[in-house]
Chains A and B, each alone.
Chain A
């Protein structure tokens, strides 16, 4: 069978499902093709959401174990019920993926289950998408039945939003037991004795934190001389010290060169310049990066252009080199972030209807959900120096903040970078408690093209963590009250 739409979205992750809803709001007839049994993509199923569920649970466990006594709460040492913790995580995921299904139904979006393949334009000029291997979709309400497969869908526009997949180490493929991806690391049936993490990016640090809090020995191996290479150096170094204090071990500037399996355990071999060494472990989490997920899609077979880094080339309308085929999110250049993909999805379909929408890439925040959290928006000090932009920096520590003291969460700081002449805020970097929520104020101020003085003049409630932002902005002009 075949059916005709205004827009076919391939992939129901945070890019695709948001684009589909926005397109439906704008009056398009929309179909979404998803090959997973559940909606929400990597973000909801095995990324952002489940990792945050485990980060919060493990944080509670660590608090009870390490910090309650200081607050005057004496308890027996807490015992970990890992299966209950994982079940709660799965429940959080299920509620949210079901929620996406509800939104599809509410917006009259046709959901087609299966793997999509681009077939190019038909005789009528419409793009054809072939869908194979349908799954049964387990919606909570069960009333949106998937269509019979295989089938051909047609639309004048197709939006590719298939996201990305983890990159394996050379010569060390994922096996799901010893060598695992982030997805597997969200569901270990018991706490590893020694978890070795290849890759000092945000995924490795977040999952390393989870298992460290639950009692595992965790060692992070990073090829570059620094963790979180894109983060402001001062912020990344502060975060590294905080994590080290929690017992996470780091080996920087080392390359994983091999793995010897010894029964269910392994011996990770690494090299650092002329030096080399070995680490025994019972899990090796490989989190060295992600790559666009294009296999089976048929994009290159149709003559679609890829950039040197393997991402899809698009223009300002997010149109690929093939007219009528668009791409967003992890498939195209830029940081692989859920909120970047969502915004691109909205902007892409709005531009299809003639609106002059645009993603303002300089105001995309990035967060690493360790504890303390790291969050940033705009340029780092290193980038400003490199681009020869004159700037002033203001910094304020959570140590000088009443609320942080009351919470006993005094690690970290807020740093505000402003243009030396115009005072326009160019970047804000936070390491500290709830940095993920605090960064929103900086994004808003920068989105309005505000200055450090603007931020310093805003009245912040007392006592709150947000006062650190105000003081850091005042410190740009050396006017911090409590500094």
Chain B
């Protein structure tokens, strides 16, 4: 059984084989994670489709086209597979004299990351790979000078094969992963191709916090985000331009709200999409978000989870951000930024009161959204959050 880079989404043509979770020769069971691939949209694991013995044919750190065969799975039960070729496992660990010199602990980490010593530039004397070269999230993988021969399906992205420039003193050069490169491109694109503007408001969370505390006491706790999703759905219905996109000379209005929720993962930002959020109750939204977080953690997020968003919510408050101007995610036209909840002195009925306050930001494409609509949208979100009586009908 061939192991191929799966077609994960229409726009994905190549992927980086980031690491092998299993070594060549390992006996695997159905649904064991075999390797991790990174595309410009997503990082995901490939799982074994059956019990069997794994043969790796493409080393980790290689960029390959979708559909490329990266290994073989000789089927058989784990029992029979384990019975073959056993000689105390020496072959897998034998070093060739042509391998660059490495220490035992460095070799251990290389195995963990599914890398070969030749793929890593060392910073030690004579290019020796040091243990610290391999620590941290980003692996300083370099493409080998001669790309390995994998059955004629070499990548067209030959830009990666240029010799790496040498770092100057006091610098460290780390190659961007495909995911990071894609994030960088899209952010720049959003800046250059839209007329982006941000408007702000503040929201008093005292009453919402009281409601959430009550839910919690009653044993049916709900996160903060679902309330903002519901409020945004209401506001998008009232201001459809915020939920629209530009397509050439046309404005396309969506009759549904597919709400992207920005989640910062280990490998970078991903934005899974709540499909038809307008049709979801509070607790369904809560469960769906929890599902996304779990999928990201276990590398099981699918491209389908990321496609079709019409509007995005990002919560910088998770990290304590007071105020920021989020960047819209083209072709969407708006993004709602949530921030940290801070006790602030505010004027209430002519008195100074201490209230839990969050600043809200809406970045929008001024080409199709007027200032009046943007301000109105944000004001409606604020009202929905400060007075939740409207929820009675929809939760």
Contacts and interface: CB of A to CB of B under 8 A. Distances in A.
Given A358-B108, A361-B93, A449-B103, 4 more contacts: A305-B86, A314-B89, A323-B82, A361-B90
A316 interface: yes
A320 B80 CA distance: 10
25 contacts: A313-B83, A313-B86, A315-B25, A315-B89, A316-B23, A316-B25, A316-B89, A317-B27, A321-B86, A322-B79, A323-B79, A334-B88, A356-B108, A357-B108, A358-B93, A359-B88, A360-B95, A360-B107, A362-B95, A419-B97, A447-B104, A448-B103, A448-B104, A449-B95, A449-B101
A359 B93 contact: yes
B83 A332 contact: no
A359 B92 CA distance: 10
A355 interface: yes
Given A360-B104, A448-B103, A316 B26 contact: yes
Nearest to A363: B104
B94 A315 contact: no
A451 B82 CA distance: 37
A291 interface: no
A320 B82 contact: yes
Chain B interface extent, by class: 20 to 34
Contact of B86 (A315, A358, A419): A315
Interface of A: 305, 307, 313-323, 332-334, 355-362, 389, 419, 422, 424, 426, 447-451
A389 B97 CA distance: 10
7 closest A-B pairs by beta carbon, nearest first, are A316-B89, A449-B101, A356-B111, A321-B83, A313-B86, A358-B93, A333-B88
B112 interface: yes
B89 A449 contact: no
Nearest to B25: A316
Contact of A356 (B23, B99, B103): B23
A424 B126 CA distance: 14
Contacts of A318: 89
A333 B90 CA distance: 10
Interface SS of A by simple majority:
loop
Nearest to B89: A316
A254 B107 CA distance: 46
A422 B97 contact: yes
Contacts of B88: 314, 332-334, 359, 361
Given A333-B88, A356-B111, A319 B97 contact: no
Nearest to A419: B97
A424 B101 contact: yes
Contacts of B103: 447-449
A47 B64 CA distance: 55
B82 A450 contact: no
Nearest to B80: A321
A434 to B, nearest CB: 24
A358 B25 CA distance: 14
Interface string B194-230: 0000000000000000000000000000000000000
A359 B108 contact: no
B101 A450 contact: yes
A316 to B, nearest CB: 3
Contacts of B86: 305, 307, 313-315, 321
Nearest to A316: B89
Interface string B330-370: 00000000000000000000000000000000000000000
A198 B107 CA distance: 42
B302 interface: no
A424 B96 CA distance: 11
Contacts of A322: 79, 82
Interface in B99-122: 99, 101-104, 107-108, 111-112
